[in-house]
Amino acid sequence: MRLLVCENYEEMSLRAAEILASQVRLKPRCVLGLATGSTPVGAYERLVEMHRQGSLDFSQVTTVNLDEYKGLGGENDQSYVFFMRANLFDGAEIPPEHTHFPDGTDPDSVRACRLYEEALAAAGRQDLQLLGLGRNGHIGFNEPGDAFVPGVHCVDLTPSTIDANKRFFASEEEVPRQAYTMGMRAIFAARRILLIASGKDKAEAVKRSFFGPVTPKVPASILQLHPDVTVIVDQEAYSECR
């Protein structure tokens, strides 16, 4: 694992964008695994800038996103499909047919998970998987539990995740209680993993994930076993590790 401690969110975002951009430049027909949430927004902004300046072409890239809220479709501004269009896909001109998500509108969890598993297999291994980090150590929506879940699955979001994500909704009641998420097998299948974390409220999770035992109680800790992981944090997120 490589750990890079940046001064602040801006520097973290720039470093992450540079890694994502070089992946696309070196292999234009690559598969990118992508995350939502507030952490990657700065990196996505940098990528859109590079594209607008003409230095980055996403036309051949395939993307697979980590997760989607169950019950939300792409027209809902809280869905992850909407988020990705607004923050990256539209600006970087990534063709919609090259992008993949679990189908949040499918009420049949078994079918939705099977179809996303098939979509992931068809897309092929991610060349680079971008991850954020939950305050409880989750990656994607792989919440703390008694075992790492290998396949795409439907999760009951934990109170900690509902609390963390309510800032995006009008009220806590509106936060969906379930989500479809990529499982650990597909995350782990990525050739390279890039995890980014920023801010004091991630400090405990960074410490437990990368400086503690590997345990499903801290889902991101499994990344300690992956052969090619880069973790980029800012000073605040690193503050508990000193």
Site residues, ligand F6R (CB under 6 A): 35-39, 66-67, 132-134, 138-140
The residue of the chain with the least Cβ separation from ligand F6R equals 132
Q: Which residues have C-beta within 8 Å of that of residue 55, sequence separation ≥ 6?
A: 21
List the catalytic residue out of 136, 153, 165, 234: 136
Known catalytic membership, residue 173: no
Compute the radius of gyration of the chain from its Cα atoms: 17
User: Which residue number, 48 or 196, has a Cβ lying nearer to ligand F6R?
Assistant: 196
Rounded CA gap, 147 and 165, in Å? 24
User: Which residue number, 25 or 174, has a Cβ lying nearer to ligand F6R?
Assistant: 174
Known catalytic membership, residue 106: no
Closest contact distance (angstroms) between CB of 197 and ligand F6R is 8
Closest contact distance (angstroms) between CB of 54 and ligand F6R is 29
Known catalytic membership, residue 67: yes
What are 158-163's contacts with CB under 8 Å, separation 24+? 160/134, 160/135, 160/136, 161/134, 161/136
User: Which residue number, 45 or 57, has a Cβ lying nearer to ligand F6R?
Assistant: 45
The burial of 54, by beta-carbon neighbours within 10 Å (0-12 exposed, 13-18 middle, 19 or more buried), is given as: exposed
Residue located via tokens 């896909």? 89
**Which residues are part of the catalytic machinery?**
67, 136, 138, 143
